[in-house]
A and B are shown apart, each in its own frame.
Chain A
Amino acid sequence: MPSPPLTDRRLVFVLGKGGVGKTAVAAALALGLADRGHRTLLIEVAAETRTAAVFGTAPPQDAPVEVRPGLFALSVDAERATQEYLSIQLKVRPLVEMMSRSRAFHQVTQAAPGLAELVTLGKIWDLATAVRDGRPVWDRLVVDAPATGHGLALLQAAASVRDLAGSGPISDQADAIERVVRHPAATGVVVVAIPEELAITEAAEAVAIMHQRDLPVACAVANAVRTSPFGPGDADALRAVLADPAAGPAERAAAGAALATVDGAAHDAREVRALGDGCALPVAVLPVVPDLAPGSGGIERLSAVLMADPALGGADAS
């Protein structure tokens, strides 16, 4: 059965190597979903992302803030999520306070590898399944995940814990979380890369790992892809100028800059193809948008291009 389009899935994780523009892609997608009338929550994982630089408002940790009509942002912090989890589970206030104050408990939660990922994923799941008046609180959730290794750890946190804890409420909850995270109708993972070999290699390896673990990879995004306004005949004429002894320094510099634009666009086009081949996924292509600051119109432009890309539509990862 073909998986639904990415835009129809409730929970989307945006994953990729550090520095490829995950935050921009997550923000562009969330903005596009909100523009289509979905009540959308953009989630950044604390201390990792830069949503504030795009929407002008730093997402709070306690309650989502509306950054655009229908688009809300929230920052999820592991320590805070742990306390919230405890207070929901234990229900008895003094007990929660005792746990929170316990030095031993803090040592354990800070040192235990994988715990931060689990409570973070648990909080995301909590938001994704929240219901008010018989309706889901959020139509769409977009998670700006940490860089590849940590992002993959986040996606697999529930599976790891279920394997470790044999029985009990945590194991049951891990099971429930994992069912949602793995469900291709409910969840989709978007892998972001820039047109550079190292970023593409990392994206392809992440996709291979996710296939292996049955995680619902939906599509790839090639970000900051350079284009050229020059045609093939233009390049020949420009090269002739470089070889012309009559050309002055400014003319040479202009011809050189134009040829570099041609080369850059050709390079990026090759790398975009490599990304599609390496991941065996449809690839959405985004242009270079140097300024994403609020009011620059950058994020709106990026969002329009992304939402119009067919790769987000009928992508079938299975």
Chain B
Amino acid sequence: MPPDVDMMAMLRGRRVVVVAGAGGVGKTTVSAALGLGLAAAGARVAVVTIDPARRLATALGIPELGDEPHRVEPAVVEAAGMRMTGTLDALQLDPRATFDRLIAREAPDDAARDRILRNRIYRHLSGATGAQEFMAVERLHELVDSGAWDVVVLDTPPARNALDFLDAPERMTRFVEGRGLRLLLGPRAGAGRTGWRALQAGGHMVMSVVERLTGAQLLTDISEFLQSFDGMYQGFSDRAAAVHDLLASDSTRFVVVTGPRPEPASEAVALWRRLADERYPLGAVVVNRVHPEPGTTGAPDGLAGLLRRAGAPDPEGLASRAATALEAARARAAADAHEVGALSHALSGPPLAVVPALAEDPVEVAGLAQVTRALSGGARDPGRGAGVAPPPDQARRQTT
């Protein structure tokens, strides 16, 4: 296996940490554990998660997560054996509330704002799944802008394409700009001003077809929607550019999370390469839930005797089943080690952090702290790491 990396040292001083990866690999857990580690090391940290509501809340001992940041009690963290020198806040993305705030900020006046907020197309748009990716980066931008936190950790939404959120601001800007739509809708949506008059003949024809399919009401609503966005595209497109600049700057690090299985690993490789191609600042790849080696290669030949001494009714049978369990644990560890090696080879170079599999997924701070320790380069050396002491029950909770 490759050497462990201390991610807290790597991420120290960054303002944004984006955690990406395939679904089901433990992105939320890794985001929370990174937030915990950075806060323990002294930073004022905000962790932004997507949904469902109780995910991070459960793990952080917060009753529920809302759109506004919620402080994690230092006592909860300290009870898990960690010193907390910074602060840790967590919040859950509310795409609609974030979108409404964006409209309020960008609208030229109150009347324009209300017109948009009431529009049926807008109500639909702000609740659609595509808006979630856009609003995740918008919320990130808001939090960074506020200056209230040293670092914001973003747990990215479960998207079909794990990097959809990178294009989201531009895609959404294109939609509200509605060049294509304006062209099709013609004078109704003020397309005359775009100077594409020459192309409008074809546009009319396309639109009359669309109108036949959707009915006229929808087109009227869309026209109103686009007209109420008049004068706001510049704001939207400036915003999209600012978000892109922030994500591409040296203040940001991308962390790709995967599991020791071929499918998420190949997605992680694709993600990493795309990030590298587009020159986003790369942090590390986290391989989550790796089964550790049982620690010995010998055969448990004396087990039946020991079990007989312990009073087991069928010591031979039990010893044989236990030996099978040991073989299975070894096979699992070997398969995971092979997967980590293959990933390291495929990526040739980036730092790899390995998080050992826990008996259960962390649903409280004590469990998260173990992940934090592993991410601090302490998987095999629990003494190291950013102010993290191993909790007393560490050995019990690890699968063997």
Contacts and interface: CB of A to CB of B under 8 A. Distances in A.
B215 A167 contact: yes
Given A18-B158, A167-B215, A197 B363 contact: yes
Interface in A97-137: 98-99, 102-108, 110-114, 117
B1 interface: no
Contacts of A117: 129
Main secondary structure of the interface of A (DSSP, over half): helix
Interface string B319-363: 101111110110000000000000000000000000000011101
Contacts of B315: 237
B25 interface: yes
Contacts of A20: 24
Contact of A196 (B296, B306, B360): B360
A280 interface: no
B131 interface: yes
Contacts of B130: 113-114
A153 B128 CA distance: 8
B367 to A, nearest CB: 10
A93 B206 CA distance: 14
Contacts of A251: 300, 302-303, 306
A263 to B, nearest CB: 6
A256 B306 contact: no
B213 A166 contact: no
Given A148-B158, A258-B322, A260-B400, A167 B209 contact: no
Contact of A111 (B171, B184, B203): B171
B125 interface: yes
Main secondary structure of the interface of B (DSSP, over half): helix
Interface in A213-263: 229-230, 233-234, 236-238, 240-241, 244, 246-258, 260-261, 263
A105 B203 CA distance: 9
B298 interface: yes
A75 to B, nearest CB: 13
Contacts of B131: 113
A147 interface: yes
A153 B129 contact: yes
A149 B130 CA distance: 10
Contacts of B302: 246-248, 250-251
A62 interface: no
B158 A107 contact: no
A205 interface: yes
Contacts of A249: 295-296, 298
B53 interface: yes
A162 B187 CA distance: 26
A212 B186 CA distance: 40
Interface string B195-229: 00001001101100101111111100100000000
Contacts of B90: none
Contacts of A19: 22-25, 259, 264
B311 interface: yes
Contacts of A168: 211-216, 218
Interface in B104-125: 120-121, 124-125
B60 interface: no
Interface stretch (B9-17, B175-183, B383-391): B175-183
A48 B24 CA distance: 13
A257 B360 contact: no
A230 B328 CA distance: 15
Contacts of A163: 124
B160 to A, nearest CB: 6
Contacts of B205: 98
A63 interface: no
Interface of A: 17-20, 47-48, 50, 53, 89-90, 95, 98-99, 102-108, 110-114, 117, 146-150, 153, 160, 163-171, 194, 196-199, 201-202, 205, 229-230, 233-234, 236-238, 240-241, 244, 246-258, 260-261, 263-264, 267
The 7 closest A-B pairs by CB, nearest first: A18-B23, A19-B24, A168-B215, A113-B128, A107-B180, A104-B180, A240-B310
27 contacts: A19-B22, A20-B24, A47-B160, A53-B263, A90-B209, A99-B206, A102-B203, A104-B203, A108-B184, A111-B175, A113-B124, A113-B129, A149-B157, A150-B160, A164-B124, A167-B217, A199-B24, A201-B55, A241-B307, A250-B301, A254-B300, A255-B303, A257-B322, A258-B322, A260-B400, A264-B399, A267-B359
Given A104-B180, A248-B300, A250-B297, 6 more contacts: A150-B160, A197-B361, A250-B296, A258-B325, A261-B328, A264-B359
